[in-house]
């Protein structure tokens, strides 16, 4: 009986380790994808990346067709730490993308996505149970170029800007109608306990795994911590004339 128990425990530990390694591989893939996309000339505008409060990377999203077109993928979310989203980038939380007709005919080709979350409302929407883009959070295809000067009003007002890379081509893409939700099972496998995305990225309750080193280093180098807005200076009181 003891030998059987020992075997069962060993098998459970082996399965747990394999599951954790699978999620760590997802993080590593996201780090590679983000670096490659940021190295593309005239990619997403640098000023938008610097203004983003969270970044989501979804590597190798695949399109399928069983009676109706759809897409499914897994990725990670990291946000700036601090009450006002001004600090360094947080440990990653695991997310899933589920959607129909994501605005790009992918065929059998896997596509990488990068989403910039531009304000607190968009971040809070993602950290709920799930969010439908276009309904729960305003989403738009992100503009390309060195700066955001060519962005439309709709893009500048969007809470989430989305980009894609497929077959070597990079550009903004509409994900309106797709759903993003926390991958609670993956977060448990990665961090070894029940933990929410909010606890990971906003409350720093999940230490960043070693697999996140590349993506966090890339973001901290390319999108440096924001400086808090300076408090308005008060004008010195005027000395009454004698």
pLDDT band at 221 (very low <50, low <70, confident <90, very high): very high
* Residue listed under structure tokens 């966090």: 216
Q: What backbone torsions phi and psi does residue 122 show, to the nearest 5 degrees?
A: -65, -40
List the Cα angle 94/228/142 in 5-degree steps: 50
The answer to whether the pTM exceeds 0.85 is no
- The answer on pLDDT for 236 being more than 90 is no
**Structural domains counted in the chain:** 1
pLDDT tens-digit series, residues 223-235:
876 655 544 455 5
Q: What is the pLDDT of residues 80-114, one digit of tens each?
A: 988 778 888 999 999 999 875 544 444 556 789 99
d(CA 111, CA 104): 10
State which residues form the domain around 102. Answer: 16-222
Calculate mean pLDDT across residues 147-154. Answer: 73
Q: Is the pLDDT of residue 194 over 50?
A: yes
**Could you tell me if residue 66 is inside a domain?**
yes
Q: Report whether 159 contacts 122 (CB < 8 A).
A: yes
The answer to whether residue 239 sits within a structural domain is no
Mean per-residue pLDDT, 50-67 = 80
Q: What is the pLDDT of residues 156-185, one digit of tens each?
A: 789 999 998 887 788 888 888 889 999 999
Cα(38)–Cα(32) distance, integer angstroms: 10
Indicate if the pLDDT at residue 11 is higher than 50. Answer: no
pLDDT at 104: 46
Residue 205 forms part of a structural domain: yes
């Amino acid at each position: 009986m003891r030998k059987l128990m020992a075997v069962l425990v060993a098998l459970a530990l082996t399965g747990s380790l394999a599951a954790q390694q699978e999620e760590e591989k997802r993080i590593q893939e996201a780090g590679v994808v983000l670096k490659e996309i940021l190295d593309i000339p005239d990619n997403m505008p640098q000023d938008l990346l610097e203004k983003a409060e969270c970044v989501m990377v979804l590597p190798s999203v695949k399109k399928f067709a069983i009676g109706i077109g759809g897409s499914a993928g897994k990725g990670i979310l990291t946000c700036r730490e601090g009450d006002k989203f001004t600090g360094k980038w947080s440990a990653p939380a695991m997310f899933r993308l589920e959607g129909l007709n994501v605005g790009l005919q992918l065929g059998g080709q896997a596509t990488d996505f990068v989403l910039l979350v531009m304000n607190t409302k968009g971040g809070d929407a993602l950290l709920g149970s799930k969010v439908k883009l276009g309904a729960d959070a305003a989403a738009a295809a992100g503009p390309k170029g060195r700066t955001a000067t060519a962005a439309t009003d709709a893009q500048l007002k969007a809470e989430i800007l989305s980009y894609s890379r497929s077959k070597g081509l990079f550009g903004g893409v509409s994900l309106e109608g797709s759903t993003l939700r926390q991958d609670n099972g993956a977060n448990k496998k990665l961090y070894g306990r029940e933990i929410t995305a909010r606890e990971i990225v906003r409350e720093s309750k999940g230490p960043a795994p070693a697999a996140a080193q590349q993506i966090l280093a890339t973001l901290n180098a390319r999108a440096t911590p924001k400086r808090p807005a300076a408090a308005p200076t008060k004008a010195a009181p005027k000395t009454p004339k004698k």
